[in-house]
Amino acid sequence: MISKARITAIGTYVPEKIITNHDLEKLVDTNDEWITRRTGIKERRFAKENEYTSDLSIKAIENLAERYNKTLDDVDLIIVCTLTPDYITPSVASYIQGKLGLKQAGAIDINAACAGFTYGLHLANGLITAGLHKKVIVVGAEVLSKITDFTDRTTCILFGDGAGAMLLEHDSEGSFLSSYNSSEGEKAINLYGTNISDIMFNTALLHKRQLVQNGREVYKWAVSSVPKGMQIVCQNAAFPIEKVDWFVPHSANLRMIESICERSKVPIQKTLTSLVHYGNTSAASIPLALDIGIKEGKVKDGEHILLYGFGGGLAQSGHLIKWG
């Protein structure tokens, strides 16, 4: 099916509070050299105590509208991709719809963890191309600092908070050239959050929602599975992977991304990440990284970009798009 969904705007937001590696040295047994060598991360942003995913999302959308001079009154669907919603229900998307007064917009949340944003784009592209919607906002946003276990020195160094949003509109020339999605649920135990049944039956755990990760197994899965998925995306578009102008993976860990680039034959020099200054922001990492490339003047109209999310599930989702 030929895409009829065009990406017409992007916006981002990160909280003001900066947490450096040196700050983390005061919390756990770690140091800047160890964190940088293993992850490539130098700092990350943490939301305020009373700042949540909906707050970050709204600011990213407002940034989008202001930068691209976009009117949002006729948006007919909001999709928020997050694993850290304000509440189990109502959805973050419903909060956004209400606070921004988007009267015509439906609102849903999806959770595909670090692959969330690319899954959200997949859903929006399909709905617009099928003629069911004309103007859709897709948001990837997280406040991972609120569910991070700061007694676990191997994982608490990774995560940060942030949000990114894209506007997709119906157009005869869509942005999406091909897509690929998959999941290996049998490996899901390697990356998970607090069991919802535990939260329901023990209210004390409401303040102890935490991420648990088997980093070694997630790393092995990513470096073996993601390059194969990248090839499938490009094969589906009959587009040689070596002709991709920019690769924008989920910003999980620089060492992991380097291994993925080596196995996929995509030069690291063609790769955009957001992890050095923002850490691992899960569903927000891809729009944050792409926006950095845009603001730095690297990404140009007409270029081919491979967006690729991967993480909890263990799920992966990728798109080859034509920018501009």
Both structure tokens of 216: 């070694």
Per-residue model confidence as pLDDT tens digits over 51-88: 999 999 999 999 999 999 999 999 999 999 999 999 98
Q: What is the pLDDT of residue 195?
A: 44
Residues 186 and 224: beta-carbon distance below 8 Å:
no
Domains of the chain: 5-173 (3.40.47.10), 177-322 (3.40.47.10)
Q: What percent of the chain has pLDDT over 70?
A: 92
Both structure tokens of 35: 């964190």
On whether the pTM is more than 0.95, the answer is: no
DSSP state of 175: S
Residue 17 — pLDDT band, cuts 50, 70, 90?
A: very high
> Is pLDDT at 205 greater than 90 in this prediction?
no
**What is the DSSP track for 147-210?**
S--TT-TTTTTTB-EEEEEEEEEE-SS-SEEEEEEEE-GGGGGGEE---HHHHHH-GGGGG---
Per-residue model confidence as pLDDT tens digits over 273-314: 999 999 999 999 999 999 999 999 999 999 999 999 998 878
Q: Which residues are catalytic?
A: 114, 250, 280
Q: Across 58-104, where does the E strand assignment appear?
A: 77-81
Residue 50 — pLDDT band, cuts 50, 70, 90?
A: very high
Alpha-carbon span 275 to 170, nearest angstrom: 32
Q: What is the pLDDT of residue 149?
A: 82
Residues 124 and 105: beta-carbon distance below 8 Å:
no
Residues 250 and 218: beta-carbon distance below 8 Å:
no
Residue type, 185: G
Q: What is the pLDDT of residue 192?
A: 57
